[in-house]
Amino acid sequence: DAAARGVQVYVLIYKEHKFVLPNDSQHARDELRGPNIHVSRHPEFYLVPQMWSHHEKIVVIDQSVAFVGGLDIALGRYDSPAHDLVDSGPQQTWTGQDYSNPRVRDFVDVANHRAELIDREAVPRMPWHDIHCRLEGPVALDVAHHFILRWNFTVENKVVSIRSPQRPMLLPFAKPIWEATDYALNGSGTDAVNCQIVRSLCQWSGGIATEKSIQEAYIDLIRTAQHFIYIENQFFVSGFEHEKNVANRVVDALYHRIVAAHEAKQTFRVMFLMPLLPSFEGAVTSSSSASLRAVMHWQYTTICRGGNSLLERLAKIVPDPSQYVAFFGLRQHAMLGTQVVTEMIYIHSKLMIVDDRMAII
C-alpha cells in the first residue's frame, strides 16, 4: 500500500548460506520487488568467506520513527502474551508453516508457506517470546543513518554485473523532519527518555573500522549496576579475559560485578532468561544434531561446565552462587484433544534491564 502511494521502500535482507539455512531470501526479494520497492541482499559470501549475518531487525519510517528489537519478519514469529500451544479450530491464527515447532520440524521450502509441516492435531506449536520497541525523534534519525550507511555500502559493493537502477543510493534528509515540519511527539501517555543507538558493525558489513558498542554498553551497565541485572537472550556464549575461543567479555563483567557485591556484602541479583534448548530440529542425542549440541556445549562452558565457567569460578569465592545469579526458562502447557501437551517458550529477545533505570534492547 505504501509503495502504491509513491512511498520509496528499501529492504535489506540477510543473504543466507542456502545449504545451511532455509530462509530463501531470493524468494523474499522476488516477491517484494515492484514499483517503488528496492530490495538488496547481503552479504555476498564470495567476498565475505565468514559465516556471519547482520542479524538486524529494524524498520525506519521517514527517518523520524524507528522500530528496533529482536523480532524477525518471518514465519513462526507472531505470538501473543497467551503463548498458545494449540490452534486447531476452524478459525486458525497460524496457517501453514506459520504453525511452527522447529524442534520437531524446521522450515522447508518457505516459498510454499501454506504447506503444513507438522500435524497440528498431534504436535503443539512452539511459542515465541520477543521484544521490540518504537523510537521517535532524533534517535530514530540515528537508526536511519545506520541503515543508509549499510544500504549504500551494500549497493556500492555489488559486482558490476548485478548493479541495477533498482538499487539506488540513499541520502539522509538535509534537515531532520521534526525541524522541517510541525512533527512532534504526542504527549499523551508518553515520557521522554535518553536514548543511544549501539551497534555491531565492521568492514564487511558497513565499510568501517570494527565498532562493538553493543558489547561496550553491556559491560559498562553491568559494571555500574547497583541492585540487579535482568537479561533475556536467545544465547549465552561468552568468555573470560584471555579466552581465545570466544571474544565477547560479558560473562567476565558479570563475574567481577558479582564478586564485588559479595565482598561488599551487598544484596545483588543477576537473573537470566533464555531458551531451554536451541531451536534446532531433532533429539539432543541424534546423529544429525551436531549444531544443537555445539551451541549447548558453548553455553554450558559459559555457565556451569568445563572448569572455567561463571558458576564454577564463583563457587571458588562465593559459598552459594545461587544467591547472586540464576538462570530460567519458560514452558507452556495445554490440552491438545484429550492429551496434555507441553512445549518450551522460545526466548528470542535481546534485552538487559539494570536497576529499573537503564535498558538495552
Would you say 108 and 114 are in contact if contact means Cβ atoms under 8 Å apart?
no
What value does the mean pLDDT take over residues 163-183?
A: 61
Global pTM value:
0.89
Q: Residue 90's pLDDT is what?
A: 85
Confidence check: pLDDT of 189 > 80: no
Q: Residue 174's pLDDT is what?
A: 56
Q: How far apart are CA 205 and CA 54, in angstroms?
A: 7
CB-based contacts of 145, cutoff 8 Å, min separation 6:
172
- Dihedral of alpha carbons 64, 57, 31, 150, sign: positive
Would you say 99 and 118 are in contact if contact means Cβ atoms under 8 Å apart?
yes
Confidence check: pLDDT of 306 > 70: yes
Residues forming the active site:
55, 57, 62, 348, 350, 355
From-to residues of CATH 3.30.870 in the chain: 210-360
CATH number (3.30.870, 3.30.43, 3.30.70, 3.10.450) of 210-360 reads 3.30.870
- Alpha-carbon separation of residue 74 from 14, 40, 43, 71, 147 (angstroms): 12, 17, 19, 9, 20
Q: How far apart are CA 173 and CA 145, in angstroms?
A: 10
Q: Residue 17's pLDDT is what?
A: 72
- Quickly list DSSP for 105-135: B----TTSTT---S-TTTS----EE--EEEE
What value does the mean pLDDT take over residues 234-261?
A: 95
Least confident of 23-37, 56-70, 135-149, 267-281: 23-37
Q: Categorize the per-residue pLDDT at 179 as very low, low, confident or very high, splitting at 50, 70 and 90.
A: low
- Using alpha carbons, select from 120, 114, 47 the residue that is nearest to residue 87: 120
Q: How far apart are CA 183 and CA 87, in angstroms?
A: 42
**Region for 76 from its dihedrals, namely left if φ exceeds 0, alpha if ψ lies in -120 to 50, beta otherwise:** left
Confidence check: pLDDT of 308 > 70: yes
Residue 229 C-alpha cell reads as 541485572
Q: How far apart are CA 184 and CA 214, in angstroms?
A: 29
Least confident of 172-181, 209-218, 222-231, 320-329: 172-181
Confidence check: pLDDT of 41 > 90: no
Phi, psi of 292 (to 5 degrees): -60, -50
- Dihedral of alpha carbons 353, 354, 359, 361, sign: negative
Rg (Cα) of the chain, in Å, rounded?
22
What residues pair up with 341 in beta bridges, in sequence order?
334
Confidence check: pLDDT of 42 > 70: yes
Q: Residue 46's pLDDT is what?
A: 57
Surface-to-core class of residue 44, CB atoms within 10 Å of its CB (0-12 exposed, 13-18 middle, 19+ buried) = middle
Confidence check: pLDDT of 165 > 70: no
Residue with cell 561446565: 305
Confidence check: pLDDT of 173 > 60: yes
